[in-house]
A and B are shown apart, each in its own frame.
Chain A
């Protein structure tokens, strides 16, 4: 079970959280301006990288707040957690 640092509550076990998929995918301000392919790309296409990945987590059994985490999908190490709206920290592959 992962140990996840909620930016609001601190270190908590994974069982308190719920994953929310890839982070930093802002909903388009006016979706009607997007063609079908662009909208499908926003809706369905995800990077699913092997390695460093920024993803959304919800502290559902805690403060109920969404935040973001940078996780290495190979080692499962969580390299950083930060609040929604904050920029993704500059973390390179393989460097914690």
Chain B
């Protein structure tokens, strides 16, 4: 075929006619034209196109700019390995999807795509100056240049670099799409629906196994889809695929197309991302995340083609050879009108034939190997192609599209006289790399195969097999047989089967970087297209002493882009090995990690967003409070009311009012979030003796005790009330956040250390609503409602418990206090909580009792010096540190944490102890977390003595108060320390950690 002398301009005026669409062929539906836009320009493609094939059909080769140098880039591949053609898909509203590979985007009517990495436009890009400056931007440039001064990194360098870099733009609105998640089980999961995968599915399903077959493409057949000459057992490949699919469907095989097995996790747990095509009128999810638990997995993921590494190998129009064939055969698109094939292997000869057979003009084939190593090319020559063996490629020409390939004969490994081959596309073949990603993710080891010049699975990990090209079995007949054998073995069989198919030629002689006659300092021969890593960058990294492949990878960023180096890794490894003069296996390879291809956050999150992101736990008074506009705070999953501001009242004023009212008359507080555990059994008392530092031997029925629980290392873990309801029944409370932790520690000891104890533990947190009624008039409010309980002090003193009825609701009534006031905590079945709350608040108003929230609760307890576990303690605080040594049961031989209290560290002098702090300025409220020092004028770094744990404006005290942990705090009472503030230091007086009612008389009424 003779190519035209002058190439036609690619832009047609008026209607776009797909000037590069071949007149026939392809698996596209020419009866269904689809219109789409790219950068606002309107184009037409056909059903069955990808965005990439449709753009190529329209002559749009230049589709984006590169990451670092902003060089014009075109489509390199035809599948998910594509590093260049990243586009943003625009949707309605906030819908936009950056960094989508145009090679996997199926064309649909109205599709809108834009290119990335340029400003202000694709054709004129200011950032392209980076390309001119590229001699100044070698590997490690950012590390070297932006080192000093260190303070510049965060404020100056990083923001500027981040603004200039980046792939695409994240959408700025919420994702309007829906994502679905499914779980499935199967006997055999097969990743890849090419020849090996289809054969594996045939064999596994024939053996009766439950099979899931997944492939990332919309169509089945893998490489067969663009191998027009392929036949299997005498049938054309397309007929064999159709017959195979029919058989698999009949055997109930689950066929997942557009579904990428992106990750393999422990115990054959596979993650599959299925893209769901939109169907007008149906509310379908955009993507479906499958979590499959497979007894056996067959990886038939195929192989990736390698680019050739030569100077300016990244011009738009230069693409992989097998991809050029795919565009011509599968999509009916000519990658160019005058193609030059460049290769170091046999596979490109079949590509050249196939292109010519499809009607694509192929001018020449250039092979780096000497003629003696090359296959017979007489058929190609007969078609009019020039075949040049023993040639190197010294460069390319062209701006937005390649216009010429520069070649030279290789003489003694060096480039001879340069010849200019005019062309508008280059199909390059640098060999094959098996897709071992999933094998590696399953912790399979690799071995280097010299004959294949590639890493292949060394041995299959348990429950997983690789088959076909994924383990280097490239030839069609052998790949089919390998798939069949693997699928059968996965289903427990040992059978084999032979397939008849035309011979495949796949051998190649790798060339790490093609020799050129140009100034090596100016040559840009790209290894990693997506991250703009050149052969020179890798050489520089090695010269600077980075030899480990892991270090070279991080220093140059080769293989670290979103394509995970699918097209570049082996070229980079080969280059490193050659330059170091070591064999490739001595250099090793990096580890592949999931995901195989990018996975959207939406698919991983699924329905777990918005209100479904995390469960919300609501107290019984929630609706009452919400109706009155009360502000809530998050305490774990609980929503708790901060305060009950009156109309026009600030939060601060509300807390102030609630605190004063609670002390003067009383208040009602929803304490339902308290953790509650019922401890039942003949050994319950003994069990509690072992779990808490306190002794419960003398705790009578109807009495309560404040209990402190340690971890085995001696540090405070939780606290609460232990109430004895009967000899064998105790009601224990925990902190709101500590409930699961406490139950787990109790269960752990009960089940594993003391299984002989007759004890049962039940979480009753959500069984009992708790309404605290505290203050001087608490009894006046409660008494008229109570039935069956004598509230007299003698019968029901502070720290007692009784069962009876409140407003005719069965209740457990505790006389306990977390405010320092006399009061009750009324436990009723959860469903009665809201009614009891409304009743207490309503009747309380006449007595001056107000509802109060967690802010007031915190202030009231701090005034009395009651600690909050997790606020005054942080996991390194022992009982003595918070002044609770007195709680330790006298004469107790053992309890959890007791032995640790004798550890040297806990007995050493200088431990931080709980103290109170008073600022000189009573209006100044310290910051919680503020550091304490003895002398604010000492040199930096200062000696820190402790920190503020709680700090409030106390209405009752008429001033600010604070609790703190300070080194040797109890010995410093009366001394002055200095606390940090946002503007400097302020003096604070160390006092006892009790600010109100120091003798604790008020709880007794």
Contacts and interface: CB of A to CB of B under 8 A. Distances in A.
Q: Do A and B come from one complex?
A: yes
Given A34-B899, A75-B462, A77-B462, A1 B712 contact: no
A60 B899 contact: no
Contacts of B646: none
A31 B904 CA distance: 15
B712 A3 contact: no
Interface in A11-28: 13-14, 18, 20, 26-27
B160 interface: no
Nearest to A66: B751
B748 A39 contact: no
A58 B293 contact: no
Given A1-B267, A31-B899, A36 B293 contact: no
B266 interface: yes
A32 B903 contact: no
Contacts of B267: 1-3, 76-78
A2 to B, nearest CB: 5
B894 A32 contact: yes
A41 interface: no
Contacts of B748: 20, 58, 66
B135 interface: no
Contacts of B899: 31-32, 34, 39
Interface residues of B, number: 26
A37 to B, nearest CB: 11
A53 interface: no
A1 B747 contact: no
Contact of B904 (A2, A20, A36, A76): A36
A36 B903 contact: yes
B462 A84 contact: no
The winner among A26, A66, A75 for most chain B CB atoms within 10 A is A66
A30 B898 CA distance: 11
A31 B752 contact: no
A58 B744 contact: yes
Contacts of B893: 30, 32
B900 A39 contact: yes
B519 interface: no
B265 A1 contact: yes
B865 to A, nearest CB: 31
B283 interface: no
B894 A30 contact: yes
B495 interface: no
B544 interface: no
B1004 interface: no
A48 interface: no
A87 interface: no
B709 to A, nearest CB: 16
A68 to B, nearest CB: 9
Contacts of A13: 269, 293
A3 B462 contact: no
A73 interface: no
Contacts of A65: 751
B172 interface: no
Interface in A30-81: 30-32, 34, 36, 39-40, 43, 56, 58, 60, 64-66, 75-78
A43 B713 contact: yes
B747 A66 contact: yes
Contacts, number: 64
A29 to B, nearest CB: 9
Interface in B240-282: 265-267, 269
Contacts of A18: 744
A38 to B, nearest CB: 10
B747 A64 contact: yes
Given A3-B293, A32-B894, A84 B751 contact: yes
B443 interface: yes
A1 B894 contact: no
A65 B761 CA distance: 12
B753 interface: yes
Given A64-B747, A66-B748, A40 B269 contact: no
A6 B752 CA distance: 16
A37 B534 CA distance: 58
A31 B898 CA distance: 8
B266 A66 contact: no
Nearest to A64: B747
A2 B752 contact: no
The winner among B744, B752, B898 for most chain A CB atoms within 10 A is B752
A38 B991 CA distance: 40
B753 A43 contact: no
Nearest to B749: A27
Contact of A1 (B269, B713, B755, B903): B269
Given A1-B265, A1-B267, A20-B748, A26 B903 contact: no
A3 B751 contact: no
Contact of B269 (A3, A32, A36, A85): A3
A32 B895 CA distance: 10
B747 A75 contact: no
A76 B319 CA distance: 42
B29 to A, nearest CB: 41
A1 B753 contact: no
Contacts of B269: 1, 3, 13
A5 to B, nearest CB: 11
Nearest to B894: A31
Contacts of B443: 75-76
B762 to A, nearest CB: 11
B755 A2 contact: no
Contact of B755 (A76, A78, A85): A85
Interface in B687-723: 712-713
A84 B903 contact: no
Contacts of B903: 36, 39-40
Contacts of B712: 27, 43
Nearest to B753: A27
Contacts of A34: 899
The winner among B753, B899, B902 for most chain A CB atoms within 10 A is B899
A76 B266 contact: yes
B752 A56 contact: yes
A77 B752 CA distance: 24
Contacts of A56: 752
Contacts of A27: 712, 749, 753
A32 B903 CA distance: 11
A66 B745 CA distance: 11
Contact of A2 (B266, B747, B902): B266
Given A78-B267, A84-B755, 14 more contacts: A1-B267, A2-B266, A3-B269, A3-B293, A14-B266, A26-B753, A32-B898, A36-B902, A36-B903, A39-B900, A43-B712, A58-B747, A76-B266, A77-B267
Among all A-B residue pairs, the 8 with the closest Cβ atoms: A31-B899, A3-B267, A1-B269, A2-B266, A66-B751, A27-B753, A84-B752, A76-B266
9 contacts: A2-B267, A3-B267, A18-B744, A31-B898, A32-B899, A43-B900, A66-B747, A84-B751, A85-B755
